[in-house]
Amino acid sequence: MSVVDLVSYEEALATYDPVMGLEVHVELGTKTKMFCGCSTELGAAPNSQTCPTCLGLPGSLPVVNATGVESAVKIGLALNCEIAEWCRFARKNYFYPDMPKNFQTSQYDEPIAYNGYLDVQLADGEIFRVEIERAHMEEDTGKSTHVGGATGRIHGASHSLLDYNRAGIPLIEIVTKPIVGAGGRAPEVAKAYVAELRELIKALQVSEARMEMGQMRCDVNLSLRPHGREKFGTRSETKNVNSLRSVERAVRFEVQRHAAVLNSGGTIVQETRHFHEEDGSTTSGRVKEEAEDYRYFPEPDLVPVAPSRQWVEELRAALPELPRVRRNRLREEWGLSEHDMQSILNAGAIGAIVATIDAGAPADQARKWWMGELARHANESATPLEELPITPEQVARVAELVAAGDLNDKLARQVIEGVLAGEGGPDAVVEQRGLKVVSDEGALGAAVDEAIASNAAIADKIRGGKVAAAGALVGAVMKATRGQADAARVRELILEKLGVG
Amino acid sequence: MTDINTIESCVRLTAAEIAEKIASGELTAVQVTEAHLARIEAVDEKVHAFLHVDREGALAQARAVDAKRAAGEKLGPLAGVPLALKDIFTTEGVPTTVGSKILEGWLPPYDATLTKRLKDAGVVILGKTNMDEFAMGSSTENSAYGPTGNPWDLTRIPGGSGGGSSASLASYQAPLAIGTDTGGSIRQPAAVTGTVGVKPTYGGVSRYGMVAFSSSLDQGGPCARTVLDAALLHEVIAGHDPLDSTSIDAPVPPVVEAARNGSVAGMRVGVVRQFRGEGYQAGVVQRFDESVELLKELGAEVVELDCPSFDLALAAYYLIAPSECSSNLARFDAMRYGLRVGDDGSHSAEDVTALTREAGFGDEVKRRVMLGTYALSSGYYDAYYGSAQKVRTLITRDFEKSFEQVDVIVSPTTPTTAFPIGERADDPMAMYLADLCTIPTNLAGNAAMSLPCGLAPEDGLPVGLQIIAPAMKDDRLYKVGAAVEAAFVERWGHPLLEEAPSL
């Protein structure tokens, strides 16, 4: 990385207020593309999901995906936007090999949703309102892979490969109004906004919004202005900041970099910048010497989109509970602190926990397993929690077995391990691994007798009233039964037999 | 059917007659196809109507029609009738060049909806016809593959952009043809070759698979030697297509019925003041005035109309069409199909795109791409593209007002008869004026027809009469057209085309 002068974050904030603009692209989870019938399934062989329309072959024409429009309206409504009564697509003209028609079918001055807001909750519970400028529909481009260069960028590459499977996948671009007043919390607000937006998109079931899969991508625009000044400074546009942590880091880095430039009497260049995951820095991309002229004009191959008011109201009525409202409700129901709830959110465990509770488990048990054993597994295997090969129903069954005394915690962990290893459901794992708690009183009684006999000194102490010493005998019994006894029952038996029950 | 006389008589039949003879078993589709292929072989070297003759494909389609008939299946009204397809519609596995070098050698992987409908109807596609590159022109001189001659006088233009289609009809190489009309490219070639051409209502015929020039103006339509033949073809190709969002989801107007029942009795026919004056050839005006008199004789009431916005139509058209074309033609970048120039390891992708477009596009295409790019640029958009759209609204209103007073409007199709090849090649403005009377209809999206109304006395060349009807009233064109055609044929004693010199 090139060496960039930075001032400390605190020093930057002493002089300047950050102003942010966030542009988030969400790939919709529709079955087919925005303007043709091709599949949107990820992972197919390159260029296998293409047709004349998404390849931009001469003569081909687009037809709007109705589900795409419905998803856009849902997103707009959830973001408290006004929904256009009549709007058109527009062509954004520029040449690039991954764009088959050399124009992107998008929306320009007539977005389907505009003028809304999203309330985001910061870690300490404070609510920050982020105003939404617009949400509009457009299509994704194909994917370029630049081969032969050192950086994977086109510069220095010997050739490029193009995969048009992604070309035409529906995108919703959500643009905030300038976010002012966040002060030192700007990076946190940016991260919380993107996180909240992601939860919202998932709750609406219009996309899985997985940032690591490129289903949600964020551009961070940032400028600084000295305290008390009304006019915004020149902004930089950091592209493709594709994780929540990166959003926070990119804002922080740009604040420090801008401040250093401004403090030294320099001027900020309006430019595109690349974000680097390795060290959280940004570097200069393309300088926008003159504003790009996309020669937008209304798309003549499509008819206007005019969502009827009745339909919009039907969609509004069917909106799910907003994630933030739901989280706060659950937090109260579960009696948790903001911090604990935040951990659950960060772990991506809310849905799984709720589903486990719905499957019959007590709330504390559901939380315990998902945030403990399962979160650890997810972490170790770098798998999103909800994609672990175990269902909420299975977790609830484990909790049920524990509550019934059939399993203890240690055994339950082994059962979960077995389920995750693909050995079947909890009952099958118990059966195959022979993990049932030893509750046969006869067998247990014999083990207790043996433990007392071989630990006479300890047994005497207990008889003498040192009940705490029973732990050692419990341990011996558990060892003898290879952990398959109910420790509480073992303790009871020991005390009973030694006459101190 | 190698007998020259049999070929001669077969190729002079109308499409309706051919279909009838095939249905009755008097002729086979293969015989008819072979006769037309032989005619093409005999005369197209001189005319150059075709860019590509699909001999094998045509014969296979003809054999399929004959097999269907032999199997006792019902045949469609145009089954086995040969057709010349403008090289702007995609044909799976058959070259589609749009008259441009940039698509030389491209074999489309799919059929246009119109192509599919023709095939489904058993129409035999003989091949692809010459055209001005990307349909930009009024003479077919802008084809990258050389000009087409007008069968009336091979040194003159056959009109454009669909000069190959009109010339194929006028030289009896095909009884039916397909054209596309963005500013007059069906009607003006029909006018200057003494044939019939119809621009249906915008949205009446699917544009899916029709290589776009100006999306909001382009419209495919039927070309023929008689009004009835055009109607039969119109019915085959028209109708809603879910693959074209701008296609109209409504029943096709009853065009065949109208063509079989031609009449103007009691109709009100409008004559627009703006469609005459400077630039109109005397013989054209004379034949047009005679046509108006004929309409009166046939029982129509003639009403004079004032449509002041029509004077602005040409200017608006030459902003809207180039604007849309500058975007539509951006896809020709050498990345996925067609011509590729400079891919020798020393040029970047961007260089290759630039070199290919420089080599692959002709002057007129470049002129319009540049005009359109400029007109859409920020800072100029409102003044140019925005103003042109306002003019378009005014023109639509002038038509609406007119159609409150009249059932159809008539005008000369084009101000002059066919001009000599080369005469206007270096004078784009003179060339653009050929579409003066046809452009308002494209801007408004309504329907219009051109049919022959005589020969201009001063040069003996065909003059076209244009009939314009409101959107989705395409049947009126055929009702009026059939009446006028019948009256003229009676007056002349034969179809006008019989006066064309033999090739």
Interchain proximity A295–B378, CB inside 8 Å: yes
Q: Which of B106, B207, B326 sits opposite A61 (nearest CB)?
A: B207
Tally the C-alpha atoms within 13 A of residue A170's C-alpha that lie toward its C-beta: 31
In A422-497, alpha helices (H): 426-433, 441-454, 456-463, 470-480, 487-497
ipTM of the complex, rounded to two decimals: 0.96
DSSP state of A374: I
Q: How far apart are CA A45 and CA B355, in angstroms?
A: 31
| pLDDT above 70: residue A438 | no
Question: With an 8 Å Cβ cutoff, is A100 touching chain B?
Answer: yes
Look at residue B45 in the predicted model and tell me its pLDDT: 97
Spatial strand order of the sheet with A216-226 comes to: A82-83, A113-121, A127-139, A170-176, A16-27, A216-226, A236-241, A271-276, A281-287
Mean pLDDT of chain B, nearest integer: 96
Q: How far apart are CA B481 and CA A459, in angstroms?
A: 118
Look at residue B324 in the predicted model and tell me its pLDDT: 98
Element (H, E) at A247: helix A244-263
| pLDDT above 90: residue B423 | yes
Q: Which of A61, A100, A296 sits opposite B336 (nearest CB)?
A: A100
Question: Quick check: helix, strand or coil at residue A232?
Answer: coil
User: Mean pLDDT throughout A332-361?
Assistant: 90
User: Mean pLDDT throughout A143-162?
Assistant: 82
Confidence of residue A476 (pLDDT cuts 50, 70, 90): confident
Mean pLDDT of chain A, nearest integer: 91
Q: Which of B208, B324, B333 sits opposite A95 (nearest CB)?
A: B333
Confidence of residue B454 (pLDDT cuts 50, 70, 90): very high
Position B69, amino acid: R
A302: nearest CA partner in chain B: B245
A104: nearest CA partner in chain B: B327
User: Mean pLDDT throughout B33-40?
Assistant: 98
A33-80 pLDDT tens trace: 999 999 999 889 999 999 999 999 999 999 999 999 999 999 999 999
Q: What are residue B447's DSSP bridge partners? A: B469
- Cis, peptide link before residue B450, omega less than 30° from 0: no
Query: Tokens for B430?
Result: 């003179």
Interchain proximity A302–B353, CB inside 8 Å: no
User: Mean pLDDT throughout B480-490?
Assistant: 98
Say how many C-beta atoms besides its own lie within 10 A of residue B183's C-beta.
32
> Which residue shows structure tokens 């119809």?
B198
A180-197 pLDDT tens trace: 999 999 999 999 999 999
Could you tell me the residue ranges of all domains in chain B? Answer: 4-314+386-499
Q: How far apart are CA A347 and CA A336, in angstroms?
A: 15
A194-227 pLDDT tens trace: 999 999 999 999 999 999 889 999 999 999 999 9
| pLDDT above 90: residue B249 | yes
- The torsion angles phi and psi of B19, rounded to 5 degrees, stand at -60, -40
Confidence of residue A495 (pLDDT cuts 50, 70, 90): confident
Q: Which CATH superfamily is domain B4-314+386-499 in?
A: Amidase signature (AS) domain (3.90.1300.10)
Contact between A164 and A50 under an 8 Å Cβ cutoff? The reply is yes
Which residues of chain A have a CB within 8 Å of the CB of B90?
Answer: 57-59
* Better-scored residue on pLDDT, A379 or B310: B310
Query: Tokens for B108?
Result: 């489309």
Q: How far apart are CA A355 and CA A360, in angstroms?
A: 9
B134: nearest CA partner in chain A: A58
Least Cα distance to B231 among B23, B414, B16, B407 occurs for B16
Contact between B128 and B51 under an 8 Å Cβ cutoff? The reply is yes
Contact between B288 and B414 under an 8 Å Cβ cutoff? The reply is no
Say how many C-beta atoms besides its own lie within 10 A of residue B394's C-beta.
17
Least Cα distance to A187 among A197, A198, A175, A195 occurs for A195
Look at residue A501 in the predicted model and tell me its pLDDT: 61
Catalytic residue annotation of B: 86, 161, 185
Could you tell me the residue ranges of all domains in chain A? Answer: 9-312, 347-433, 441-497
Least Cα distance to A498 among A455, A468, A460 occurs for A460
Look at residue B3 in the predicted model and tell me its pLDDT: 67
| pLDDT above 90: residue B51 | yes
Interchain proximity B330–A103, CB inside 8 Å: yes
Q: Which of residues 203-232 of B touch A (CB under 8 A)?
A: 207-212, 214-216
Interchain proximity A61–B373, CB inside 8 Å: no
User: Mean pLDDT throughout B442-459?
Assistant: 98
Question: Quick check: helix, strand or coil at residue B127?
Answer: strand
Query: Tokens for A499?
Result: 């006459």
Query: Tokens for B411?
Result: 């005008």
Confidence of residue A1 (pLDDT cuts 50, 70, 90): very low
Q: What are residue A135's DSSP bridge partners? A: A113, A174
Look at residue A440 in the predicted model and tell me its pLDDT: 67
| pLDDT above 60: residue A269 | yes
Position B51, amino acid: L
Q: Which of A102, A291, A301 sits opposite B331 (nearest CB)?
A: A102
B215-240 pLDDT tens trace: 999 999 999 999 999 999 999 999 99
Confidence of residue A439 (pLDDT cuts 50, 70, 90): low
Contact between B448 and B467 under an 8 Å Cβ cutoff? The reply is yes
- Helical pair B227-237 and B474-492, crossing angle rounded to 10 deg: 160
Query: Tokens for B340?
Result: 């590729």
User: Mean pLDDT throughout B180-188?
Assistant: 98
A441-497: CATH, from 1.10.3470, 2.40.128, 3.30.190, 1.10.10:
1.10.10
